[in-house]
C-alpha cells in the first residue's frame, strides 16, 4: 500500500478523541447546532491553534452506521470493507470470535400451525425472556461443530458457529416477510456447505426446543459472516495503539484493527484516567465517547450539549499529556432534531505544532466549513494525523 511505504517509526503520539455522533443541526430557536451551543473554551482554544475541516464518513448524502463511520476514520475504505451483520452483533456483545467462526444475527419469531411466520419478532418478547430462551438453546450440540448463543435486546440474539473449514457464504433463513415459512439455509459457495449443514441442524433442534414457548416458538437467522481479515494499524502505520471504549462494539472494531483494548467504566472521567495510565506505553490512542450519540438518538438537544461540555471540561487532562497530535472529531453526525444518524459532514479538529492555525474561533460546524482542511473524506484523517505526527516520509526524490 502506497501510504505504508512512507511510514517512518517515531516516538510521537497521536490521540483520536472520537465524540460519537458529534455533528448536528441547528436548534430551531437559536439557529445553532449542539456543538455551536456548547460552552467549550478548551476545544475552542485547541481549535484556534489547530486546523479545522469537515469529514464525509462514507460519501455525500450517505448516512453511516457506527462501523463504517469508525472504519473510515482509521483509514479503511468503509464501502470495500463491509462488515457483516452477524459479526457486528457478535462484536457488540464482546463475543471472542476466532478466525473461521461464522456469526449470524438471530430473531426469535412466531410460526403458526402450518409453519408460516406470523410475527418475525415474536411480539418483541422481553429481554429477560430472551435470556431464558438463549439458556434453553445453549446446550444444543451439533455434529461437526459448535454453536454459541448470546442474547441481545428483546427478540434479538447472535449465534456463532465454530468448526473446521466454515465459510460465511450462506443464505438467510429469514424471508424478511410474514406469511412465508422460514427458509432453509443454503450454501452460496461449495466451501460453505458445512456452515449450511450446521445452521440447519441448529434451527431444527431450536424449533423442537421452542415448540412450547409461543410466541417465541422458532428462530430466524440472517447476515451470516466471518471476521474480515484486515491489515492492522500496526502493519499499516507502525502504530502501537490502544482503544478506550466502554461499548463492546467499539472494542470489537478496535480489536479488528489490531488495537489493544482497555476495559473502562462507563464514566467519562474514568476514560480519561485510562488514557493517562496507558499513555507512556503506546503511540496511538482511540478514546471513544458514546454519550453524545445516545443523546442525539434520543432527540435530547440539551443533553448532547451537556455531554460535549463535559468532554470539554476533561480536555485539559488530555492536553496535559502533550501528545504530538490530537484529533477531535466524530464517526458521523447525529442531529438531535433528526433523532438519528445523518449524512451531514462531521466537524474535524486537528491539533499539532505543525498546523496552520485557524485563529480565534468557536469550534463548530460553521467554523469547520471554513477551515483549511476543507471538506474531506474521513479516510483522509489518518494520513493527515500521521503527517502532523511527522510519521510520514517524503514521496519521491
- By CB under 8 A, is residue 324 in contact with a second copy? no
- By CB under 8 A, is residue 179 in contact with a second copy? no
At residue 200, what are phi and psi to the nearest 5 degrees?
Answer: -65, -35
In this structure, what C-alpha cell is assigned to residue 167?
Answer: 465459510
- By CB under 8 A, is residue 278 in contact with a second copy? no
Residue whose CB is less far from a second copy, 258 or 377: 377
Residue whose CB is less far from a second copy, 62 or 116: 62
- By CB under 8 A, is residue 82 in contact with a second copy? yes
- By CB under 8 A, is residue 25 in contact with a second copy? yes
- By CB under 8 A, is residue 365 in contact with a second copy? yes
Residue whose CB is less far from a second copy, 59 or 96: 59
Beta bridge partners of 51: 350
Report long-range pairs for 233-237 (Cβ below 8 Å, ≥24 apart): 233/74, 233/257, 233/258, 233/259, 233/284, 234/258, 235/4, 236/1, 236/3, 236/4, 236/7, 236/75, 237/3, 237/4, 237/7, 237/75, 237/284, 237/382, 237/386, 237/391
Give the residue from 381, 347, 363 showing the smallest Cα distance to 20. Answer: 347
Residue 261, H or E segment: strand 260-262
Shortest distance (Å) from residue 293 CB to a second copy: 13
> Site size for a second copy, by CB under 8 A?
62
If you count them, how many residues does the chain have?
A: 397
Residue whose CB is less far from a second copy, 116 or 376: 376
- By CB under 8 A, is residue 393 in contact with a second copy? yes
- By CB under 8 A, is residue 68 in contact with a second copy? yes
Task: Report the relative pairing of strands 325-329 and 14-19 from DSSP bridges.
Answer: parallel
**Crossing angle, helix 301-319 and helix 41-49, to 10 degrees?**
60
Beta bridge partners of 260: 242
Region from 155-163, 182-190, 261-269, 368-376 binding a second copy, contact rule CB under 8 A? 368-376
CA-based end-to-end distance of the chain: 19
Q: How far apart are CA 140 and CA 367, in angstroms?
A: 57
Q: How far apart are CA 158 and CA 194, in angstroms?
A: 19
CA distances to 111, 149, 184, 207 from 215, rounded to whole Å, are 8, 19, 21, 12
- By CB under 8 A, is residue 366 in contact with a second copy? yes
Shortest distance (Å) from residue 78 CB to a second copy: 7
Residue whose CB is less far from a second copy, 123 or 231: 231
Among 64, 143, 158, 334, binds a second copy (CB under 8 A): 64
Beta bridge partners of 157: 106, 151
Shortest distance (Å) from residue 294 CB to a second copy: 16
Region from 119-127, 152-160, 182-190, 376-384 binding a second copy, contact rule CB under 8 A? 376-384
Shortest distance (Å) from residue 12 CB to a second copy: 14
Query: In three state form, how does the secondary structure of 327-341 look?
Result: EEECCCECCHHHCCC
Residue whose CB is less far from a second copy, 58 or 278: 58
Residue whose CB is less far from a second copy, 116 or 369: 369
Shortest distance (Å) from residue 383 CB to a second copy: 3
Cis peptide before 215 (omega within 30 of 0): yes
- By CB under 8 A, is residue 153 in contact with a second copy? no
Shortest distance (Å) from residue 269 CB to a second copy: 29
Among 329, 341, 361, 362, binds a second copy (CB under 8 A): 341
Residue whose CB is less far from a second copy, 6 or 183: 6
Residues lying near a second copy in the complex (CB under 8 A)? 2-3, 6, 25-26, 31, 33, 54, 58-69, 78-79, 82-83, 85, 88-89, 335, 338, 340-345, 354, 356-357, 359, 365-366, 369-376, 380, 383-388, 392-397
Amino acid at each position: 500500500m502506497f501510504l505504508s511505504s512512507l511510514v517512518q517509526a517515531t516516538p510521537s503520539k497521536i490521540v483520536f478523541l472520537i465524540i460519537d455522533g458529534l455533528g448536528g443541526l441547528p436548534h430551531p430557536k437559536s439557529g445553532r447546532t449542539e456543538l455551536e451551543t456548547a460552552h467549550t473554551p478548551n476545544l475552542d482554544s485547541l481549535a484556534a491553534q489547530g486546523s479545522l475541516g469537515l469529514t464525509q464518513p462514507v460519501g455525500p448524502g450517505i448516512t453511516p452506521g457506527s462501523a463504517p463511520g469508525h472504519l473510515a476514520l482509521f483509514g479503511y475504505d468503509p464501502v470495500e470493507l463491509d462488515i457483516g451483520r452477524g459479526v457486528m452483533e457478535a462484536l457488540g456483545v464482546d463475543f471472542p470470535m476466532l478466525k473461521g467462526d461464522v456469526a449470524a444475527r438471530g430473531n426469535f419469531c412466531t410460526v403458526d400451525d402450518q409453519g408460516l411466520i406470523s410475527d418475525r419478532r415474536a411480539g418483541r418478547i422481553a429481554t429477560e425472556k430472551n435470556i431464558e430462551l438463549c439458556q434453553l438453546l445453549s446446550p444444543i450440540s451439533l455434529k461437526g461443530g459448535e454453536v454459541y448463543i448470546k442474547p441481545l435486546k428483546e427478540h434479538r440474539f447472535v449465534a456463532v458457529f465454530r468448526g473446521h473449514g466454515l465459510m460465511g457464504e450462506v443464505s438467510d433463513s429469514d424471508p424478511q416477510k410474514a406469511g412465508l415459512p422460514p427458509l432453509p439455509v443454503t450454501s452460496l459457495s461449495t466451501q460453505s456447505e458445512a456452515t449450511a449443514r450446521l445452521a440447519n441442524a441448529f434451527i431444527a433442534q431450536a424449533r423442537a426446543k421452542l415448540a412450547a414457548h409461543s410466541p417465541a416458538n422458532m428462530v430466524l437467522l440472517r447476515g451470516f459472516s466471518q471476521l474480515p481479515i484486515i491489515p492492522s494499524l500496526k502493519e499499516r502505520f507502525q502504530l502501537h495503539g490502544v482503544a478506550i471504549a466502554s461499548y463492546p462494539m467499539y472494542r470489537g472494531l478496535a480489536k479488528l484493527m489490531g488495537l489493544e483494548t482497555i476495559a473502562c467504566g462507563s464514566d467519562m472521567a474514568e476514560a480519561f484516567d485510562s488514557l493517562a495510565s496507558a499513555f507512556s506505553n503506546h503511540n496511538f490512542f482511540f478514546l471513544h465517547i458514546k454519550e453524545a450519540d445516545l443523546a442525539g438518538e434520543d432527540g435530547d438537544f440539551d443533553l448532547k450539549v451537556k455531554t460535549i461540555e463535559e468532554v470539554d471540561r476533561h480536555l485539559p487532562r488530555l492536553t496535559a499529556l502533550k501528545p504530538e497530535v490530537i484529533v477531535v472529531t466524530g464517526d458521523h453526525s447525529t442531529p438531535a432534531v433528526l433523532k438519528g444518524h445523518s449524512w451531514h459532514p462531521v466537524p474535524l479538529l486537528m491539533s499539532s505544532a505543525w498546523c496552520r492555525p485557524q485563529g480565534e474561533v468557536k469550534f463548530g460546524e460553521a467554523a469547520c466549513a471554513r477551515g483549511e482542511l476543507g471538506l474531506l473524506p474521513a479516510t483522509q484523517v489518518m494520513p493527515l494525523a500521521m503527517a502532523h505526527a511527522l510519521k510520514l516520509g517524503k514521496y519521491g526524490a
